[in-house]
Chain A
Amino acid sequence: MSPNGQARGKNITIPDNVYTIILALAFCAVLATAAYVAYQCNQQYGTIFKIPT
């Protein structure tokens, strides 16, 4: 995150925001997966948390 690092080593550095974005993508993927599973459960069994009788 510091501009000093980039100047000193000239190594490819990834900004910290990228990791935040990656982490957000992971969260979005998990959230989408949970929503999809919830939708499927509601679609097939009519409930999300209870066991259908």
Chain B
Amino acid sequence: MSTLTKVLIVLLTISSIFLCGIVVTYVSNAENYRQMYNTLKTDKNAAVENEKNAKKQRQEAIDAANALEQKLNDQINALKIQVGQLGTQLAEAKRKADEAVAQENIWRDINTKFLSTNEDLRKLLEDKLAELKSVDARRIQGDKELNETTATLIQKMAIIDSLEKQSKLLLEEKTDLQNQLGTHLQKTGQTVATPVTVTPLKETARVAIPAVDIGLNGLITTVDMENSLAEISIGGANGVKQNMKFHVTRADKFICDIVILDVEPENAIGTLELMDVTKEQPKPGDNVSTNL
């Protein structure tokens, strides 16, 4: 074997070992692109998944925002409607307030007029009370005069009664004397002449006031049978006048008549006439009327 061959063998071997070392070193230090690719692919898939999730979350957020917006819009519309209603109610309340103020002014005017009217009525009442006092004073005085007149009347009635009794006695004595004179003269064939009074009696007829159309009605309040007097519950204020005749009735029965002697504003006093002693007597509570 030649030297050159040996040298070439050695050089070839050295260069081969050197190059093999370089190749091994390079391959050992070379980056694993497949692993990097897989890593990047995984990262890409993760990024895509994250993007999907983010889009999904974004869509959900958009949906939630839309729902919230819709809800808020509904609330805004409801509040607008409520604001409109409240505005209407406010206008109505203002109108009612204006009406109330106008009504208050009206009532204030009415109250003022009422107070003035009340003051006038109070003055009028005071005047009427003063007049009433004066009328009461006059009535008391009239009552006194009436009592005095009634007492005088009773006294006169008593005198008349006694005179009637004396008259009856005289008439009875007269009748007896006429009878005795008649029997005595019959024996002698003479008759009794008709007696002639010295002063002929004149019956004074009391003409009752016709009261056909008056139509007064009342009640008997007091009866004095001894003096044939009665008091009725109506007087001059009701149209009763002196000498007016009233018919006394009880239910459907006629009792007697009353001819008015004295008239007072609230009552009247009269004498009892056409009274039948054997029948019922008038008593307080019986009806009196001008017309039967």
Contact = CB atoms under 8 A, between A and B. Distances in A.
Interface residues of A, number: 20
A20 to B, nearest CB: 9
B24 A33 contact: yes
Interface string B4-40: 0110011011001101100110011010111100000
Q: Is the interface of A mostly helix, strand, loop or mixed?
A: helix
B198 interface: no
Contacts of A23: 9, 12-13
A48 interface: no
Contacts of B6: 14, 19
Contact of B27 (A19, A30, A40): A40
A39 to B, nearest CB: 9
B13 A16 contact: no
Interface residues of B, number: 20
Q: Is the interface of B mostly helix, strand, loop or mixed?
A: helix
Contacts of A46: 34
A25 B13 contact: yes
A52 B23 contact: no
A36 B12 contact: no
A12 interface: no
A28 B80 CA distance: 95
Nearest to A19: B9
Given A29-B17, A44-B33, A45-B33, A22 B10 contact: yes
Contacts of B19: 33
21 contacts: A1-B1, A16-B1, A19-B1, A19-B6, A19-B9, A22-B13, A23-B12, A25-B17, A26-B12, A26-B17, A29-B17, A33-B20, A33-B23, A33-B24, A36-B27, A37-B27, A44-B32, A44-B35, A45-B33, A45-B34, A52-B34
Interface of B: 1, 5-6, 9-10, 12-13, 16-17, 19-20, 23-24, 27-28, 30, 32-35
